[in-house]
């Protein structure tokens, strides 16, 4: 098994109760949400989606003392951080990641602000290895941009994260651009997490809605593909040339075939998008990273490796566990499925490039982290 | 081989005419006072590229803007729409990929091609 330093790019930290988040809301929104008599609180999370017959969590991640998986730092530390040499973990929220699925844009913006403060306060303070995404209520892109800028001075708030899609337009659409302007300005990548568009807003599947979690999970890459194509076709990387994005939990073996098709179509349809100065695959090469989980499983692992290699994805893949979700990928498992000469890049080096971190700084910091445990 | 393909006045502005020169089909374009010529064979799937539409090159300063460069005529192959600039025959998305051009000049009001032996 790979034993070098690891950066885990998708760790879902969650809260067990509304009561954890409510103190971070403004007084007015606290009043709006709470004490509605027998009706209880106004729900903070979007009530939608498909039920997973197993539940969404790995059964062993429920904290012994109660609460939701991912909600208890010591459990996460012991199960995830200490299980291998995890130097940094990027936190990606639990159900609050779906706040852009709320119909009320003002409420979503406030929830994003509160969730980010909760993340800084309750999580980043506990362990220097933890880094957080910045949730944004993409319903109000200007407010979302301000939220990103609000965290500019905190180097542990490392990326703006988009999940649900409030407008039924690919994320490259100009309506979202204020978010990217702020991300570029503050040097933060934009993370697009799978499941985008699958909750309260547009369906995440092309061709029609599906009926089961099984179908929706198989088809998760569709939404990610839509957003990737949208980013490149709208010239987001021409407009924001320093912007980097990371596609989370959408798989990766489809990327070569999509980019082959994308390049071929560009040759015939360039007239429609003359602002593109390069082939789509060239923008991908300079601006896009992709998480490993869930790595596609082929009967022969060489089939997947060969596909990934055809688009040099060994330089774009960043390790992600998806802890504590039911479909998490273990380091040991990935070690066996990917060529050994890729390991250091995939588990560590590529993420350093994504987040603009110096590898030496992080390797050296290992000793400090030990003391804080 | 030098081939006289007609008088300058035989060529209408912005219209590409296909002529037969030394057994080759060659598209000849008059673009204001300039002439361009290229073989009627697309490097993609050998389509009749010269039957395509000629226009000024579309360009863009920034996403969402659309400008036309009237100094740079381009042709879009009628089969799959790949565009090539007439000057050097180069594809707009890859200058190393090109339709073969034919040297063309005006001599005493006549349009003259220089068709090489090795042409298709
Ligand atoms: S044959 Fe000319 S573009 Fe395909």
SS3 B50: helix
Task: Find out whether A132 and A116 touch, Cβ atoms under 8 Å.
Answer: yes
Mean pLDDT of chain A: 93
Per the domain annotation, does A1 fall within a domain?
no
Q: Specify the residue with its C-alpha closest to ligand 1, atom 3.
A: B80
What CATH number should be reported for the domain holding residue A237?
A: 3.20.20.140
For residues A115 and A133, what is the distance between their CA atoms, to the nearest angstrom?
A: 10
Q: Is the pTM of this model over 0.90?
A: yes
Q: Is B66 on the interface with A (CB under 8 A)?
A: yes
* A274 closest CB neighbour out of B66, B81, B82: B66
Q: What is the pLDDT of residue A369?
A: 46
Paired sense of beta strands B67-76 and B24-31, if any: unpaired
For residue range A70-99, list pLDDT tens digits in order.
999 999 999 999 999 999 999 999 999 999
Q: Is B77 in the pocket of ligand 1 (CB under 6 A)?
A: yes
Residue listed under structure tokens 């220089």 = B114
For residues A332 and B105, what is the distance between their CA atoms, to the nearest angstrom?
A: 69
* A271 closest CB neighbour out of B58, B61, B67: B58
Task: Find out whether A10 and A354 touch, Cβ atoms under 8 Å.
Answer: no
Q: Is B64 on the interface with A (CB under 8 A)?
A: yes
Q: How far B61 CA lies from chain A's nearest CA (Å)?
A: 7
The 3-state secondary structure of A305-334 reads HHHHHHCCHHHCEECCCCCCECCCCCHHHH
Of residues A212 and A254, more confidence is placed in: A254
For residue range A283-334, list pLDDT tens digits in order.
999 999 999 999 999 999 999 999 999 999 999 999 999 999 988 888 999 9
Q: State percent of chain B over pLDDT 90.
A: 93
Of residues A205 and A262, more confidence is placed in: A262
Q: Which are the contacts of A198, defined by CB distance < 8 A and separation ≥ 6? A: A49, A164, A204, A216, A220, A223
SS3 B117: coil
Mind listing the domains of chain B with CATH numbers?
Answer: 2-114 (2.102.10.10)
Q: How far B76 CA lies from chain A's nearest CA (Å)?
A: 8
Per the domain annotation, does A135 fall within a domain?
yes
Task: Find out whether A336 and A2 touch, Cβ atoms under 8 Å.
Answer: no
How buried is A28 (Cβ within 10 angstroms: 0-12 exposed, 13-18 middle, 19+ buried)? exposed
Residue range(s) defining the domain that contains residue A281:
6-372
Task: Find out whether A362 and A89 touch, Cβ atoms under 8 Å.
Answer: no
pLDDT band at residue A194 under the 50/70/90 scheme: confident
Answer yes or no: do A238 and B92 touch at CB < 8 A.
no
For residues A48 and A44, what is the distance between their CA atoms, to the nearest angstrom?
A: 12
How buried is A147 (Cβ within 10 angstroms: 0-12 exposed, 13-18 middle, 19+ buried)? buried
Q: State percent of chain A over pLDDT 70.
A: 95
Per the structure, the count of domains in chain A is: 1
Q: Is B84 on the interface with A (CB under 8 A)?
A: no
* A274 closest CB neighbour out of B60, B81, B91: B60
| Cα B95 to middle of ligand 1, angstroms | 16
Per the domain annotation, does A103 fall within a domain?
yes
Ligand 1 atom with the shortest distance to the CA of B46: 1
Q: Is B49 in the pocket of ligand 1 (CB under 6 A)?
A: yes
């Amino acid at each position: 098994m790979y034993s070098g330093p690891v950066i885990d790019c998708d760790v879902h930290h969650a809260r067990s109760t509304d009561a954890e988040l409510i103190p971070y809301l403004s007084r007015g929104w606290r009043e709006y949400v709470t004490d509605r008599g027998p009706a209880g609180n106004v729900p903070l999370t979007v009530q939608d989606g498909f039920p997973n017959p197993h539940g969404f969590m790995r059964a062993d991640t429920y904290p012994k003392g109660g609460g939701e998986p991912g909600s208890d730092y010591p459990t996460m530390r012991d199960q995830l951080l200490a299980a291998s040499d995890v130097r940094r973990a990027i936190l990606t929220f639990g159900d609050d990641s779906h706040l852009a699925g709320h119909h009320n844009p003002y409420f979503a913006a406030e929830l994003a602000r509160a969730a980010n403060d909760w993340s800084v306060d309750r999580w980043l303070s506990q362990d220097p290895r933890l880094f957080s995404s910045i949730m944004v209520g993409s319903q109000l892109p200007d407010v979302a941009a301000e939220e990103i800028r609000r965290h500019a001075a905190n180097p542990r708030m490392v990326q703006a994260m988009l999940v649900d899609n409030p407008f039924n337009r690919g994320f490259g659409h100009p309506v979202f651009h204020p978010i990217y302007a702020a991300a570029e300005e503050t040097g933060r990548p934009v993370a697009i997490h799978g499941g985008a568009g699958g909750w309260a807003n547009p369906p995440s599947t092309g061709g029609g809605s599906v009926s089961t979690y099984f179908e929706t999970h198989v088809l998760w890459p569709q939404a990610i593909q839509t957003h990737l194509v949208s980013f490149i076709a709208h010239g987001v990387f021409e407009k924001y040339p320093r912007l980097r994005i990371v596609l989370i939990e959408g798989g990766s073996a489809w990327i070569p075939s999509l980019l082959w098709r994308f390049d071929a179509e560009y040759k015939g349809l360039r007239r429609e998008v003359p602002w593109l100065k390069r082939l789509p695959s060239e923008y991908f090469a300079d601006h896009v990273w992709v998480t490993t989980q869930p790595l596609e499983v082929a009967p022969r692992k060489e089939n997947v490796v060969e596909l990934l290699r055809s688009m040099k994805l060994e330089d774009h893949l960043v390790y992600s566990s998806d802890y504590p979700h039911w479909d998490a990928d273990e380091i040991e498992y990935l070690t066996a499925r990917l060529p050994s000469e890729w390991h250091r890049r995939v588990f560590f080096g590529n993420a350093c490039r994504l987040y603009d971190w110096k590898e030496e700084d992080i390797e050296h910091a290992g000793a400090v982290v030990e003391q804080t445990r | 081989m030098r081939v006289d393909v007609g008088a300058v006045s035989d060529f209408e502005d912005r219209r590409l005419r296909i002529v037969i020169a030394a057994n080759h089909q060659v598209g000849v374009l008059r673009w204001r006072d300039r002439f361009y010529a290229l073989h009627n064979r697309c490097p993609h799937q050998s389509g009749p590229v010269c039957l395509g539409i000629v226009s000024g090159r579309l360009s863009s300063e920034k996403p969402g803007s659309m400008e036309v460069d009237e100094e740079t005529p381009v042709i879009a192959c009628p089969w799959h729409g790949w565009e090539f600039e007439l000057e050097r025959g180069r594809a707009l998305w890859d200058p190393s990929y090109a339709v073969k051009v034919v040297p063309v000049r005006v001599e005493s009001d006549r349009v003259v091609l220089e068709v090489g032996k090795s042409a298709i």
